[in-house]
Structure 1
Amino acid sequence: MTSSSTHTHTHTRRGRTHAVLVTAVRSVLVLFFALPIVFMLMSSLKPDQQIFADLGSWRAFLPVGEISAANYAGVFDRVPFARFLLNSVVISGLTVALGILVNSMAAFALARLRWRGRGLVLGLVLATLIVPFETLALPLLWWVNKLPSFEADGFTLAFKQGWLDTYQVQIVPFVANAFALYLFYQYFDSIPRELDEAARIDGAGWFAIYRRVVMPLSGPAIATVAILTFLPAWNSYLWPLMVVQSEELRPVMIGLQYFFQLDTSWGQVMAYSSLITIPVVALFLAFQRSFINSIASSGVKG
């Protein structure tokens, strides 16, 4: 056997070994992240006694024993799930839509326009990332309680003070987001500026450039911001607990409290958790390719 053949054989064997190792690592990661979801789904189909009996064995991850949809029926009997789900969809959807609009326009002004002090402004915006929300919650609560609001009273609008117990108090404070703005800024900064110059020669203004040139090229960034804005909006618990008292305005995460009052049914807890996880998984699957493309194209740039 010649030296070139030996080298080729060794290279092929190393390639196969590397492929096996990569597959093994991926399989372990898949199991690590998937098993908790599988456990939740399987437990949602079992009574509490079966859940505790299966703990400590692989039966906890398998559809064995007393399997039924009784826990899901119990969810709808115990909480107004449809109302909570609608509230979360409305709140999360509007937060995402307004967040994309506001943060992208601010990032466009920072990335594409030349004006004095924009570096300082960007630095101040990014500095807010180090401030945890818990330190801002009480001052924010005080401010939203002072803001003016209008409510419909028949065919007239009545003025009142305070946003507590409303939809807007769950949406407006989270529209502007420093991390989303920075993602847009980073992506916009990578788009060739020659496109701006060509558009301006054709008579386009800055808003037209933003709407017709930059945003159509920013699909991966939009998808990433949509996912990263949707997740905290959907999972919000502390803020709605502080500002919402009416049951008809509560989001899905507050509904978890209902299952820990009086007798706790862990099967129903798992069923409820499964139901509120479905929209998150669906959103990620819908934007998965764009999300990965955004991380690959702009997330690694300094």
Structure 2
Amino acid sequence: MTARNDHIMLTVGRYIPLVVLALIFIFPMVFMVMSSFKPAMQLLSDTSSIAAFLPVGHISLDNYVAAFRRAPIGLFILNSIFVTSVTVVASIFLCSLAGFSTVFIEWKGRNLVLAAIVATMIIPFEAVVIPMLLLVSKLPWIGANGLSFGWLNSYEVQIIPFIADGLTVFLFVQYFRSLPGELIEAAQVEGAGWWLIYRRVVMPLAGPVVATAAILKFLAMYNQYMWPLMVVQDEAYRPVMVGLQYFYQESVPWGEVMAYLSIITVPVLIFYTFLQRAFIASIAATGVKG
């Protein structure tokens, strides 16, 4: 009985700090969502009490209705989801191929190329943003209207420059190096080519690193502000973060701001929750197969 009590106390002692830490991170989210349903005067008066975190007082959807009237929020969300999804999928495909080629295929200079790719991680984006802007403003593009020059005010200018990055390649390289070489050798003995090995042997085991890379890339792309602000002036292509400009005016009630922030946060929470479950499931599946 004493041992059982000690185990319970030890478990409680472990979970209490985690619960406290979780509450610290959850409270701002709860405050944001609760404030989005309250009128301006009640929102400000509730900040001095616990009522700021509770659905009390005059609760309505007026702030959400006003936010949708002030800005085309649905269009902004669709733009962000499209740009982010395409970038994530393309990045995982190309970066995993790069990692696969540098780990499993022997070719001259691969270590030097990998070092150069990883070295790009130390270059801040602000240092290359002006050259990138000058480059994309003159590049050719073949679209529905034929050949044109300049990628400004388009989806491709928000996607293509961010498909490949050193961090994602590095994550795949590190994970591929942890896989047993016997798997590749056995596949080669069976007559499988590199593309078949990549598709049927390596990538089915890469669930954890795919989930990790997808989460990091999704957060980075969905939260982009400076680059879209520089290259997208047309409202039809603007993402959600640039849409915040509609709520920078002094006359905008705080309830509308909180409503907009609540709306644009939902896709992030859904994506993160889904990928977190996929990440845990992939680890379990990989452990069973191993």
- TM-score normalized with structure 1 length: 0.89
2:75 maps to which of 70, 74, 83:
83
Is 1:271 aligned to residue 263 of structure 2?
no
Corresponding residue for residue 108 of structure 2: 116
Give the AA of the match of 1:71. Answer: N
Q: 1:38 — aligned with what?
A: 30
**Counterpart pick for 2:175 among 169, 183, 187:** 187
Q: How far has the Cα of 1:297 moved from its partner?
A: 12
Superposed CA RMSD: 2.0
Superposition deviation, residue 259 in structure 1: 1.1
Q: For 1:25 and 1:294, how far apart are their aligned partners in 2?
A: 28
Compared CA separation, residues 234 and 295, structure 1 to 2 (3 A): farther
The answer to whether the 8 Å contact 1:224/1:294 transfers is no
TM-score, normalising length: structure 2: 0.93
Match of 1:4 in 2: none
Q: Deviations over 1:41-79 (max 9, x none)?
A: 000101111111111321110111111011111111111
CA gap 1:239/1:295 in 2 versus in 1, 3 angstroms: farther
Give the Cα separation in 2 of the matches to 1:291 and 1:134.
32
Pick closer, same or farther for the CA change 1:64–1:81 going to 2, 3 Å. same
Q: Deviations over 1:85-128 (max 9, x none)?
A: 11111100100010011100000011111223222222221111
Is the CA contact 2:211–2:275 (under 8 Å) kept in the aligned structure 1?
Answer: yes
> CA offsets per residue over residues 116-174 of structure 1, 9 Å max, x none?
32222222211111111111111111111121123433xxx2x2221111110000000
What secondary structure, in the 3-state scheme, does the structure 1 residue paired with 2:241 have? helix
Matched residue, 1:233: 221
2:207–2:283 contact (8 Å) kept in structure 1: no
Q: Would you say how many aligned residue pairs link Structure 1 and Structure 2?
A: 286
* 1:1-60 Cα distance to aligned partner (Å, 9 max, x none): xxxxxxx84x55543332221121011011011101000100010111111111132111
CA contact (8 A) 2:207 2:279 kept: no
Structure 2: 5+ residue stretches without partners? none
1:149–1:162 Cα contact (<8 Å) kept: yes
Counterpart of 2:44 in structure 1 is 52
2:100 partner SS: helix
Q: Which of 240, 245, 253 is equivalent to 1:252?
A: 240
- AA paired with 1:136? V
Question: Could you say which residue in structure 1 is the equivalent of 2:249?
Answer: 261
5+ unaligned residues in a row in structure 1: which ranges? Answer: 1-7
Deviation, structure 1 residue 293 = 7.1
Counting aligned pairs with the same residue, the percent is 49
Corresponding residue to 2:135 among 124, 127, 143 = 143
Give the counterpart letter for 2:151 in structure 1: W
Residue of structure 1 in register with 2:65 after alignment: 73
- The amino acid across from 1:73 in the alignment is V
Give the conservation status (yes or no) of the 8 Å contact 2:36–2:255.
Answer: yes
